[in-house]
Amino acid sequence: MLRISVGDLRFTARLEQEAAPRTCEALRKLLPLRGKLIQARWSGEAAWVPLGDLDAGIENENHTTYPGAGQLLLYPGGISETEILFPYGFTAFGSKAGPLAGNHFATIEQGRDQLKELGRRVLWEGAQEIVFEEG
């Protein structure tokens, strides 16, 4: 399991260990991970955590362009920078260069009812502190 805090919002996510084992392992090596959650510019109802030029050492696995709300993606870089995408509604993952596909590595199980509020905060209040921890 993965614990995620965004301000006073708390989420628990199931790691998609069977479908994305290399991505889950790469993420575990980064924990605890602290960053800024920012409204996505091209992906619709989603926020993202920029990871810059981080080389997670992974390639595509269990990848998608159209994650559902609460299906977290790790984009390993390439066309755009490395990032974690946090969809809170309808999402078509993309960048200024066009569509992207990220590795679906975790799914929110507890706190799904807070996804709408998460979206409101990043859209109307700006960047939010986010912490990912093993739990």
| pLDDT given at position 5 | 98
Supply 129's token pair: 């502190």
Distance between CA atoms of residues 4 and 6, nearest Å: 7
The predicted pLDDT at position 110 comes to: 98
Tens place of pLDDT for every residue, the chain, 135 residues? 999 999 999 999 999 999 999 999 999 999 999 999 999 999 999 999 999 999 999 999 999 999 999 999 999 999 999 999 999 999 999 999 999 999 999 999 999 999 999 999 999 999 999 999 998
In the chain, where are the structural domains located? Answer: 2-134
Neighbours of 37 (CB within 10 A): 23
The arrangement of secondary structure in 2-134, i.e. its CATH architecture, is Beta Barrel (2.40)
What the block records as the tokens of 77 is: 């870089």
